[in-house]
Amino acid sequence: MHEVSTIEDPAAAEASLDPLRRQILGDLIEPGSASTIAARLGIPRQKVNYHLRVLEQHGLVELVEERRRGNFTERILQATSASYVISPGALGRLQPDPGRAPDQLSARWLLALASRLVRDVGTLLAGAQRARKPVATFAIDGQIRFASAADRAAFTKELAAVVTELVARHHTGQEPGTAGTGKLNRLVVALHPAVPDTADGHLR
């Protein structure tokens, strides 16, 4: 089981958004069968079996074991990931495109950048999982409190200057007539007001 996976197929995204299937996926973080899930949720086993087939068809659950129970074989399944992120790529042409209206001070542009980040990292992660290789990534997550809007503006100006200087120092330019030199990476730096979490980790 993976810690987190992206869902890129629109049909798989639709399957995962069904309320009952979401509940079944949550229960299958630990291996279980249609019978155990039906007993836990208080619904008919046949109904659970139907939803399990849909989830399995889209690669959201997988068979981990088969157990003989009297005259039938009990299938033990488990979610393929502990959590999922639906890739903006599932929206096709409707996915956000930060290239349409780049504006460093726009929250909507930041959202488009974040959407592209989810899509691209999800694609890289899926390929790396198939190849059984790691993805070279780096991220920083933190909080900073500004005493005033002026302090925030001064910080963003200095941050932009520092990052620009650092990139210029380490970036390898493209040689004329070539596809480039070295591995191209994308750098995203974001700053936005913090949104507090509730005790259970969900946004207020």
**What confidence tens digit (pLDDT) does each residue in 148-177 have?**
999 999 999 999 999 999 999 999 877 776
Q: Is the pLDDT of residue 199 over 70?
A: no
* Digit-coded pLDDT (tens) for 85-141: 999 999 999 999 999 888 988 999 999 999 999 999 999 988 888 888 889 999 999
Burial of 32 (0-12, 13-18, 19+ CB in 10 A): buried
Burial of 51 (0-12, 13-18, 19+ CB in 10 A): buried
Cross-strand pairs, 65: 76
Query: Phi and psi of 174, rounded to 5°?
Result: -80, 130
87 with 122: CB under 8 angstroms? yes
Res 145: pLDDT = 96
Q: Is the pLDDT of residue 69 over 90?
A: no
Mean pLDDT for 32-44 is: 93
